[in-house]
């Protein structure tokens, strides 16, 4: 037995064929050490049948089970696709060799009986003391964070089945470098905007572990509800254009794009919100220069919908060396 260094940790991921049936990790995501927060949850049940004594609980019985798993860190243009595809569900890939283009959008259907839930994943947590796998993980929260001074970063959260121990994987990690924010470009209403300083794009879906009477404590299904996309951007305020987008309810299209490299090494991370409603707009003078911060709620359009049709508030395009079938 020995005390283990936390920096030896790493995170593996694999898409599942059957929700909740674990799959050995097929890819590995470099993550920030402090972001790794796996939690196994067992709901408590208590025997409180009166037995003539001044006590409340006589016996503890384990109840329903599930897990949550938070992680994040700097954005790598290939492994970021798992979290985005896990949130939205529809992935269309083109290209016969690297770089491949992955268009990721919300999975919809107007046909009865069609499953529109995104694919589930098994997360594998190597924490040096042991290795645990978390099957049936559904992504419910994803936030892309940008600050002109640093790296493009993200946070993600899943809900799934209770964990199990597993054998040590043999990890192989992305050869890409993480993406600095300065490589990006922002377009609002079709016009390039160079004054955005910081911001975030947040995708959220309510998540409900559904339990049935089936001789198991694990969920029957982890179910994701409707998608909402919000955001916040702080600009250097050179004019009133962003404030007027709020006051006049302009709802401009917003495109955030990181695209660099050449040939097979070209990568891209692009988020499009074709109808970005500004819900607040505030002038700020806390620094030596004037700024304006806006909150955004992306409205759903057919423009941002993918091949499954319907409406969506956002569409992502990734370009990298991952082949078709990697993410979903």
Which tens digits make up the pLDDT trace of 263-275? 999 999 999 999 9
What's the mean pLDDT when you consider all of the chain? 97
- Say how far residue 36 (Cα) sits from the centre of its chain: 14
Beta strands at 153-160 and 131-147: parallel, antiparallel or unpaired: antiparallel
pLDDT (mean) for 230-237:
98
Q: Which domain holds residue 208?
A: 9-46+58-182+200-226+258-271+300-320
Position 71 in a domain: yes
**pLDDT 10s digits, 171-220:** 999 999 999 999 999 999 999 999 999 999 999 999 999 999 999 999 99
Report if residue 190 sits inside a domain.
no
Residue 89 lies in a domain: yes
* Number of structural domains in the chain: 1
Q: What is the pLDDT of residue 168?
A: 96
Question: What is the 3-state secondary structure of 5-41?
Answer: CHHHCEEEEEECCCCCCCCCCCEEECCCHHHCEEEEE
For residue 55, what pLDDT band results from cuts at 50, 70 and 90?
very high
Q: Is 160 among the domain residues?
A: yes
* 239 burial via Cβ count (<10 Å: 0-12, 13-18, 19+): exposed
Q: Answer yes or no: is 290 within a domain.
A: no
Q: Has residue 235 been placed in a domain? A: no
3-state SS assignment for residue 223: strand
pLDDT at position 110 over 90: no
Residue 114 in any domain: the answer is yes
Looking only at the bridges linking them, the beta strands covering 153-160 and 89-94 are unpaired
pLDDT (tens digit per residue) in 294-303: 999 999 999 9
Confidence (pLDDT) at 187: 98
Q: Which of 191, 296, 190 is nearest to 249 (CA)?
A: 296
Alpha-carbon span 120 to 143, nearest angstrom = 19
1 pLDDT higher than 80: no
State the virtual CA torsion across 157, 163, 167, 172 in degrees, nearest 10: -10
pTM, full prediction: 0.96
41 within domain boundaries: yes
Residue linked to tokens 């993550």: 31
pLDDT of residue 165: 98
């Amino acid at each position: 037995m020995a005390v283990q260094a936390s920096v030896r940790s790493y995170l593996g991921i694999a898409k599942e064929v059957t929700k909740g049936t674990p799959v050995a990790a097929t890819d590995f995501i470099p993550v920030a050490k402090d972001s790794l927060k796996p939690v196994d949850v067992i709901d408590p049940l208590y025997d409180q049948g009166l037995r003539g004594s001044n006590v409340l609980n006589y016996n503890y019985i384990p109840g329903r089970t599930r897990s949550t798993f938070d992680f994040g860190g700097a954005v790598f243009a290939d492994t970021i696709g798992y979290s985005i595809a896990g949130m939205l569900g529809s992935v269309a890939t083109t290209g016969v060799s690297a770089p491949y283009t992955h268009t990721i959008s919300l999975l919809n259907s107007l046909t009865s009986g069609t499953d529109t839930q995104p694919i589930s994943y098994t997360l594998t947590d190597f924490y040096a003391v042991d290795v645990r796998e978390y099957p049936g993980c559904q992504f419910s929260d994803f936030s892309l964070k940008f600050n002109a001074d640093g790296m493009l970063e993200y946070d993600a959260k899943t809900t799934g089945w209770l964990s199990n121990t597993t054998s040590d994987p043999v990890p192989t990690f992305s050869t890409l470098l993480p993406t600095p924010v300065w490589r990006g470009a922002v377009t609002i209403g079709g016009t390039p905007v160079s004054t955005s300083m910081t911001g975030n794009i947040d995708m959220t879906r309510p998540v409900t572990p559904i339990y049935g009477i089936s001789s198991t404590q694990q969920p029957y299904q982890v179910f994701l509800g409707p998608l909402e996309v919000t955001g916040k951007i702080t600009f250097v305020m050179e004019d009133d254009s962003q404030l007027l987008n709020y006051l006049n309810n302009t709802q401009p299209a917003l495109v955030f794009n990181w695209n660099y490299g050449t040939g097979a090494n070209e990568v891209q991370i692009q988020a499009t919100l074709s109808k970005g409603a500004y819900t607040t707009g505030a002038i700020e003078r806390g620094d030596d220069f004037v700024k304006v911060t806006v909150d955004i709620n992306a409205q759903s359009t057919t423009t941002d919908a993918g091949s499954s049709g319907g409406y969506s508030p956002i569409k992502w395009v990734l370009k990298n060396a991952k082949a078709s079938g990697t993410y979903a």
